[in-house]
Amino acid sequence: MLSLNRKLSNASAANVLLSQRFVKICGVTQKNQAIEISAMGADFIGINLWPLSKRYLPLEKASWLSEIPRATSVVGVFVNADINYLKEVAASGLVSHLQLHGDESADLCAMLIEAGQSIIKAFRVSDVSMLDEIADYPVNDILLDSYHPEHRGGSGECFPWNLALKFKQKYPNRSLFLAGGLHADNVSEAVRTVRPYAVDVASGVEDGTPGIKNLEKVARFIKQAKAGAPLI
């Protein structure tokens, strides 16, 4: 997998990472929490750069992202952002991945990939027919999230795992980021059932205030996710 190759620096690291699930803690807004979450073993930290998000962090207030240890990849999350803004964020060097969580076209994704950007394309899915459009996207890393007519992730609604299994059957060579309603008490089961490339959580490690994480919940989530099942 392309995204897996990006995470591996040498053969010895590969032997470790192939036995573990990757974890993305999304909607982080606090510098100190981000650094602690990285130290806990999070592979990805998501920063929401969509102004309408309840976990929005303006780019001008995110210079501290450069202090996140390099072992943790920083993902900028966007919804229908202008391509010039996406390129501006990428050029800032503060994020390593662009997560497109809106109605972005396959052509836009292709342009960004051709420009050397690492893309995660999110899809809100409620039935198996909605998986078909993914075929048009030249993106390896696909995030499946619960469908909601208003919210763009972070709603806490559980994603139907049977659709994730259908995705894996239909797109066996793509990397699946599983999101939607995950928390420390169900992520191990999700990993054993679906065996995604990565699991993604936002509200499931919060106590009710969007963007402020309960670090005990984060630690439990990471532990349960990585213990759930081997990647291969």
Tell me, rounded to whole angstroms, the distance of Cα 122 from its chain centroid.
8
Q: Among residues 43, 141, 145, 200, which one is catalytic?
A: 145
Answer for the pair 83, 107: CB distance below 8 angstroms, yes or no. Answer: no
Is 145 one of the annotated active-site residues of the chain? Answer: yes
Active-site pick, 26, 43, 109, 200: 26
- Indicate if 26 belongs to the active site: yes
Residue from 55, 105, 65 nearest 83 by CA: 105
Q: What is the DSSP string of the chain?
A: -HHHHHH--SHHHHHHHTTS-EEEE-----HHHHHHHHHTT-SEEEEE--TTSTTB--GGG-GGGGGS-TTSEEEEEESS--HHHHHHHHHHTS-SEEEE-S---HHHHHHHHHTT--EEEEEEESSGGGGGGGGG---SEEEEEE--SS--S-S-PPP-HHHHHHHHHH-TTSEEEE-SS--TTTHHHHHHHH--SEEEESGGGBSSSTT-B-HHHHHHHHHHHHHS----
Catalytic residues: 26, 145
